[in-house]
Amino acid sequence: MPSFPNKSLANAVTLCNIVFGSLSLVYTLDQQFGLAAIFILIAAVLDGLDGRIARRLDIMSPLGKELDSLCDMVSFGVAPALLIYAQVLINYTYSLGLITALLYIVCGAYRLARFNVLDISGYFLGIPITLAGTFLALLALFAAYLPAHLILALLLLMAIMMVSNIKIPKL
Amino acid sequence: MPSFPNKSLANAVTLCNIVFGSLSLVYTLDQQFGLAAIFILIAAVLDGLDGRIARRLDIMSPLGKELDSLCDMVSFGVAPALLIYAQVLINYTYSLGLITALLYIVCGAYRLARFNVLDISGYFLGIPITLAGTFLALLALFAAYLPAHLILALLLLMAIMMVSNIKIPKL
């Protein structure tokens, strides 16, 4: 039986993930887009860590799984969508930037809910929200060198690929 | 067997909830705090509706339950915390406003995950995040007439009450 600190370690790391996702939103609010992107990347590292810790210490739990989804929703759903919107798409014609950002969030929520219910192991159905959010954070870091149309198209692509039936093998 | 539109109606309403929660964040970003608060209140009305629709049409589903938690995390966790932070607590001494807002988000995630795992019926354990988020949105509407210390204390109180063991009967 793992002792208390071990048992809570994976969940504590998961909660650090949502703290960095929320900090990303705070820095987006403050127009510090570079830092906002970096905080999403830190959340992605923590997201990779918590699962590994839980498996290594054999402390995987239903609570941990639920917590993981909720944190992913914030750090890789809401945070990158708001970052890309505020940094690049805020003045895009016909509010298309806002609509695409909202679509990305909705698709992210559906992706996470579907994955939890289907309980597939061995592969992902549709690209994982962590991958999509990390890609968008990297995109935000290089946004100054890229046309807004391309960024809008990539945001839309990520949204569609999350809810697609593409099978991606787990590493 | 409910037909397709009926079957998806409750989930569609749940997804509208997250759209309004996200719009609240967008308006917080734009410093339109009144509208940001109103969007959280609209999300709360939609959150009350989806469960009622699902029960009335007998279309409750595990997917709907997962989706509901993810949407609640955004609309009543992240959105009100960021709203109160940006509107009132952004310049609070020693970053206490930021720390309290992050604590509220972490407690909200823990509250939602715990509730899903325990699967209690008949009563709530700790105040529901919908109730806490709705209270904070109302607080934001009257923030101009209230001292910042009181708002900080109430944000902290909501955070603690969500993860407390207080039993609240379901209506």
Residues of B within 8 A of A106 (CB-CB) are 15, 18-19
B90 found inside a domain: yes
pLDDT in tens, A39-95: 999 999 999 998 888 888 887 888 888 999 999 999 999 999 999 999 999 988 879
CATH number at residue A83: 1.20.120.1760
Q: Tell me which residue range forms the domain holding B162.
A: 6-169
pLDDT given at position A86 = 97
> Any idea what the Cα angle at residue B135 is, between residues B133 and B141, rounded to 5°?
105
Query: Who's near A96: CB < 8 A, 6+ residues apart?
Result: A89, A152
Tell me the mean pLDDT in the region A120-142. Answer: 92
Which parts of chain B sit beneath pLDDT 50?
1-2
A92 found inside a domain: yes
A120 found inside a domain: yes
pLDDT given at position A166 = 87
Closest residue in chain B to residue A97, using alpha carbons only: B26
Q: Which residues pair with A169 in a beta bridge?
A: A123
Query: Who's near A92: CB < 8 A, 6+ residues apart?
Result: A98, A148, A152
Q: Are A32 and A84 in contact (CB under 8 A)?
A: no
What pTM, to 2 d.p., does this model score?
0.94
The CA R_g of chain B, rounded to the nearest whole Å, is 16
Separation CA A148–CA A47 (nearest Å): 29
A1 found inside a domain: no
pLDDT given at position B1 = 45
pLDDT in tens, A133-160: 999 999 999 999 999 999 999 999 999 9
Pick B78's closest partner by Cβ from A67, A78, A98: A78
B155 found inside a domain: yes
pLDDT given at position A1 = 45
B1 found inside a domain: no
| Residue A57 DSSP one-character state | T
A50 found inside a domain: yes
| Interface residues from chain B to A (CB-CB < 8 Å) | 15, 18-19, 22-23, 25-26, 28-29, 62-63, 66-67, 69-71, 73-74, 77-78, 81-82, 85-86, 98, 101-102, 105-106, 109-110, 112-114, 116-117
Number of domains observed in the structure of chain B: 1
Cα-based torsion angle of the residue sequence A47, A48, A53, A59 in order, rounded to the nearest 10 degrees: 60
Give this complex's ipTM: 0.93
Q: How confident is the model at residue A117 (pLDDT cuts 50, 70, 90)?
A: confident
The CA R_g of chain A, rounded to the nearest whole Å, is 16
Residues of B within 8 A of A77 (CB-CB) are 74
Query: Which pairs with CB-CB distance under 8 Å and at least 24 residues apart come from A56-61?
Result: A57/A2, A57/A6, A57/A7, A57/A9, A57/A10, A58/A2, A59/A2, A59/A6, A59/A7, A59/A9, A59/A10, A60/A10, A61/A11, A61/B117
Query: Who's near A97: CB < 8 A, 6+ residues apart?
Result: A85, A88, A89, A90, A91, A148, A152
φ, ψ at B2 (rounded to 5°): -70, 145
Residues of A within 8 A of B86 (CB-CB) are 29
B116 found inside a domain: yes
At A168 the three-state DSSP class reads strand
At B112 the three-state DSSP class reads helix
The alpha-carbon gap from A110 to the nearest alpha carbon of chain B, in Å, equals 7
pLDDT given at position A104 = 98
The two structure tokens encoding residue A80:
């990158």
Number of A:B CB contacts under 8 A?
A: 104
CA distance to A106, B6, B9, B10, per residue, from B56 (Å): 24, 11, 11, 10
Mean pLDDT for all residues in chain A: 91
For A107-129, letters b (16+ CB in 10 Å) and e give bbbbbbbbbbeeeeeeebbbbbb
Closest residue in chain B to residue A114, using alpha carbons only: B63
